[in-house]
A and B are shown apart, each in its own frame.
Chain A
Amino acid sequence: MEILETSLELVKWGMLSGIFLGISVSFTGPLLVLKKNALFPHSLTHVLFLVIILVSVITQFLPEFFYYPLIILLTLLSVSGIWIFKKFQALYEDTATSIITHLALALALIVAATNSQYDLRLFSYLFGSLLTVTSKEVYESLIILILSVLLYLKFKGIWVAQTVDSEVPGVNFKFANLSFLFLITLQTLIGIRILGILLVSSFFVFTSVVALKISRSFGRVIILTAFLNLLALIGGFLISFIWDWPFSASTVFFMSLYFLILLIIKKGF
């Protein structure tokens, strides 16, 4: 018990940040699934991998203040490559996403291999760790949660409309889409610190799909996704504590159990 208390003390910032992120993601994850764009956060993590390396190199010559704005700006520019490929090469969205994902990964490896100066933060970004999360990131994730709620309230009608209509008279989808993209980028950036680049995209997809399968209305989907995310964080922590597994992998493993339960319930009834 004492060990558990000590562990909790060590990971308290990480858990708190995870809780805020879990709730925040529940506003965007279900929409991504409905837009048949569930692989987008996966692509985003690869783009972020490249951008973080680039910015780590650049910020050696710039003040720390520029770190996050540069990451967000470069990420948004890079993911717009998906749109460019889709529009000008007339490709399917998933094909364009795949191209950008692999291109970003390849470039990231080239930059990493040719530059030994990049930030040590990269290792925690790759695999995630509750221990590396500080109070600063808790505040950041809280801000993102507040931003998620505000943007959801502002654009709810348009975001939901896009899952059933491709065009609505007098309704401009562009600004709402850009806000959605901006929000997902921020959520992914924070999520990377906890779950790592390799697994953060699972946070957007697993619980959203389960919630979408069993909820009738969008309001219930959000509540259920948030609840399942929190449960997964606690479950993931306990599994990693008991069996000494990596936290990020334990959390994803725990989330996969939801599908098993869903399958059993469906078969049972």
Chain B
Amino acid sequence: MKEISELNLPEDVRYAEDHEWVRIEGDKARIGISDYAQDQLGDIVFVELPEVGSKLSKGDEFGTVESVKAVSELYMPVGGEVVSVNNGLEDAPEKVNNAPYTDGWMIEISPDDPSEAGSLLDRAAYLKMLEGQ
């Protein structure tokens, strides 16, 4: 397990308490899981993602990741309609471990309310939450 100081926590995303991240890109938002989350899970062997077109609210389950006989549920950090999913994870789920903020992204959504991401944690607040656990 990484020390908190070793975690890669970019400034250009917002973080949810359940360790998902969201990055606003124009009128779309990308979602994945943080470096902390992938490190906790260990080697990811399977990622289950929603259908394109699914409409999900903040807090809804959008998929699961499976590692070492453990299935973890993933929750929407903001609400919106799924416009694309990262099909590359089907054959290469390890991308979530190796590049959680880039190649390991999970879904892209059209957010219901683009300002909703502003209520999530920034890097400093997320770090503080991790340190307080």
**Is chain B a partner of chain A in the same complex?**
no
Residues of B with Cβ closer than 8 Å to A? Answer: none
